[in-house]
């Protein structure tokens, strides 16, 4: 097992945070405010929106002194009834497939020592939210401390597969499709770390008996899967736990975007003035003029919350890099153009050519590097929409249109200005905030996670073979959740397709394979025969 002395990036002498190198001097001021008042945000941009909350917080301390504090605005955006038996909307899953046969007790001890007991350079616990659950009071969301917090309830073997001699990825995904949205225990923190032993990627068709299945594996593998509510943290925060703490690597997936560069006062003034002037038009454009209408758009009332979880095979990351260089486009363009082409081909093979929409939209999260990355947080992201030109017949033209959209977003006001106006939700009650941020514009909800480029050693013992990521609809009423993640030179697409849209798993598998084929076909896209080919 790892010890504090051999965790890469962990300094037990200074007891500093793993990500302190990403904190700017200006951010340190906001962090001090966060530790004391739960703000952690630029004063000049957000203080007016917290006036009402400033009265509500001390009132709650008087009426409910054992409660922790009001939820921050980004956390509160994802608030929902925590014990809804119809299923939760804002759930994420992230995990790893590794070689070995770990002890669950050792994992609990490691988690207790290096996550729950960890203190940053201010002597505070960055992961104290793991011991909180949430509820509402006066229609505002609050964090509450769990009275009987027990790691045995949160880190455990997945009981449904505990006695199975071997579990395939297909069997696991079929179970998780219904389990992913299940509510957590009564007054328990909304997270769990699940262990699935005796894992195999695929079962050989010739293997019939359980005895043969158990002996078919040459190397034992297991899955370590983190399921949590988005109010607790965003995906990058949990990924950092796996990579920086469990894996002992100094790695950050965040990349600075041009529209989040540091500005001087005059540049800030021009930027936000222009944003205010364009706010009305951009809102009208996103919500009305570019409203996503197609047969895959289903209403929130009929979305089931049960999913088909499917994942493509490992695809060479070098393909995306090579294609991006040849066409002078970003890797992001290659990935989302693959999704656009795969969706179009699905309509064609289903005999629905006449119902192919002109375009679809995917709501994607955008990381914000300038916000310090030192805790379980939802502070370090904004969001925007990427238009997929599904109706474009020519592959290279479809690729070019996606590239244009991605390049425009690099300098767009929308992602960064969403972050600027987001704190207004903090002053709103839950019902009004949920109405305000309800997203009815997109068919897909997406997340792109660029993982480590080299192999990861989990807990100093277990070699990580692959990542897993499942990203449902979240705040949207999108019927498809899309995760794109890379690790050790390979890239994979993962889909969470609501069963109302695709009743049968075979349809979701087909869509995943078509996206995979489109990705690989880009290697020949520059050939004249391919440029002229209509699909």
Domain ranges of the chain: 4-246, 258-531
Q: Half-sphere exposure (CA, 13 Å, Cβ side) for 364?
A: 22
- Reading the block at residue 447, the tokens are 């997340």
Mean pLDDT of successive 10-residue segments in the chain (535 residues)? 32 28 31 32 45 74 85 79 84 94 94 88 82 88 91 93 88 94 91 94 53 57 94 85 83 44 61 65 64 82 89 94 92 94 96 92 69 48 80 94 84 53 60 60 85 89 93 81 93 95 96 96 69 45
Query: What residues have CB less than 8 Å from 411, skipping those under 6 apart?
Result: 258, 259
Query: What is the rounded (10 degree) CA torsion for 20, 13, 29, 250?
Result: 10
Q: Which residue has the tokens 């082409």?
A: 341
Query: What residues have CB less than 8 Å from 29, skipping those under 6 apart?
Result: none
Angle at 333 between CA 283 and CA 394, to 5 degrees: 100
pLDDT, residue 200, reads: 87
Alpha helices, DSSP H, located in 411-527: 414-421, 430-437, 505-521
Q: Is residue 101 within 8 Å of residue 116, measured between CB atoms?
A: no
- Reading the block at residue 15, the tokens are 């007891």
- For residue 84, what are the CA distances in angstroms to 88, 175, 185? 7, 20, 11
Is 4-246's fold the same as 258-531's? yes
- Identify the bridge partners of residue 221 per DSSP, sorted by sequence position: 99
Alpha helices, DSSP H, located in 217-264: 235-240
484 vs 218: CA distance, rounded Å: 29
What does DSSP assign to residue 427? G
Give the predicted TM-score (pTM) of the model.
0.81
Taking residue 521's Cβ as centre, other Cβ atoms within 10 Å add up to 17
pLDDT, residue 258, reads: 38
The H-or-E segment that residue 136 falls in is strand 132-137
Q: How far is CA 224 from the centre of its chain?
A: 17
pLDDT, residue 256, reads: 40
Q: Is residue 58 within 8 Å of residue 70, measured between CB atoms?
A: no
Query: What residues have CB less than 8 Å from 128, skipping those under 6 apart?
Result: none
Query: What residues have CB less than 8 Å from 326, skipping those under 6 apart?
Result: 526
Is it true that domain 258-531 has CATH number 3.40.50.1100? Answer: no
pLDDT, residue 17, reads: 29
241 vs 18: CA distance, rounded Å: 10
- Reading the block at residue 119, the tokens are 């203190």
pLDDT, residue 179, reads: 94
Give burial (CB, 10 Å; 0-12/13-18/19+) of 63. exposed
506 vs 79: CA distance, rounded Å: 33
Query: What residues have CB less than 8 Å from 415, skipping those under 6 apart?
Result: 257, 259, 366, 382, 383, 384, 409
CATH topology of domain 4-246: Chloramphenicol Acetyltransferase (3.30.559)
- Reading the block at residue 390, the tokens are 């599904």
- Pairing between β-strand 221-229 and β-strand 91-99 as defined by DSSP bridges: antiparallel
- Pairing between β-strand 140-145 and β-strand 67-70 as defined by DSSP bridges: antiparallel
């Amino acid at each position: 097992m790892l010890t504090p002395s051999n965790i890469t990036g962990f300094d037990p002498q200074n007891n500093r945070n793993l990500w302190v190198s990403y904190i700017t001097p200006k951010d340190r001021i906001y962090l001090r405010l966060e530790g004391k008042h739960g703000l952690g945000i630029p004063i000049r941009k957000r203080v007016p929106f917290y006036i009402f909350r400033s009265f509500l917080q001390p009132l709650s301390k008087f009426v409910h002194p054992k409660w922790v504090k009001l939820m921050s605005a980004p956390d509160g955006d994802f608030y929902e009834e925590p014990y809804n038996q119809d299923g939760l909307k804002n759930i994420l899953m992230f995990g790893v497939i590794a070689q070995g046969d770990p002890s669950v007790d050792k994992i609990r001890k490691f988690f207790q020592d290096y996550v729950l007991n960890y203190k940053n350079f201010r002597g505070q616990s960055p992961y104290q939210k793991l011991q909180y659950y949430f509820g509402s009071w006066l229609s505002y969301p609050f964090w509450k401390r769990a009275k009987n917090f027990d790691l045995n309830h949160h880190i455990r073997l997945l009981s449904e597969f505990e006695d199975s001699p071997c579990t395939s990825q297909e069997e696991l995904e079929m179970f998780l499709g219904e389990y992913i949205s299940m509510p957590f225990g009564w007054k328990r923190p909304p997270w769990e770390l699940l262990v699935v032993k005796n894992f195999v990627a695929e079962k050989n068709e010739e293997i019939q008996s359980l005895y043969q299945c158990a002996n078919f594996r040459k190397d034992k593998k297991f899955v370590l899967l983190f399921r949590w509510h988005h109010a607790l943290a965003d995906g990058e925060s949990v990924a950092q736990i796996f990579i920086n703490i469990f894996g002992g690597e100094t790695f950050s997936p965040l990349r600075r975007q041009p529209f989040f560069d540091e500005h001087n006062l005059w540049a800030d003034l021009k930027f936000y003035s222009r944003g205010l002037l364009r706010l009305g038009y951009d809102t009208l454009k996103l919500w009305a003029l570019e409203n996503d209408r197609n047969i895959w758009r289903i209403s929130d009332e009929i979305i089931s919350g049960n999913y088909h979880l499917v994942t493509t095979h490992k695809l060479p990351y070098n393909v995306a890099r090579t294609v991006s260089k040849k066409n002078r486009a970003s890797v992001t363009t290659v990935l989302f153009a693959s999704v656009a082409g795969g969706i179009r081909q699905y309509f064609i093979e289903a005999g629905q050519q006449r119902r192919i929409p002109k375009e679809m939209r995917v709501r994607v999260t955008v990381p914000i590097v300038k916000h310090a990355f030192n805790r379980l947080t939802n502070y370090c992201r904004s969001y925007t929409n990427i238009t997929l030109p599904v109706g474009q017949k020519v592959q290279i033209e479809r690729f070019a249109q996606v590239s244009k959209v991605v390049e425009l977003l690099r300098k767009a006001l929308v992602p960064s200005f969403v972050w600027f106006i987001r704190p207004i939700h903090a002053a709103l009650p839950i019902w009004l905030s949920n109405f305000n941020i309800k997203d009815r514009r997109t068919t897909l909800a997406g997340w792109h996670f660029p993982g480590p480029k080299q192999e990861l050693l989990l807990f100093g013992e277990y070699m990580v073979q692959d990542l897993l990521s499942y990203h449902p609809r979240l705040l949207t009423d999108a019927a498809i959740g899309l995760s794109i993640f890379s690790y050790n030179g390979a890239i994979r697409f993962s889909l969470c397709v609501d069963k109302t849209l695709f009743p049968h798993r075979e349809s979701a598998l087909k869509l995943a394979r078509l996206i995979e084929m489109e990705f690989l076909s880009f290697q020949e896209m520059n050939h004249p025969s391919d440029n002229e080919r209509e699909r």
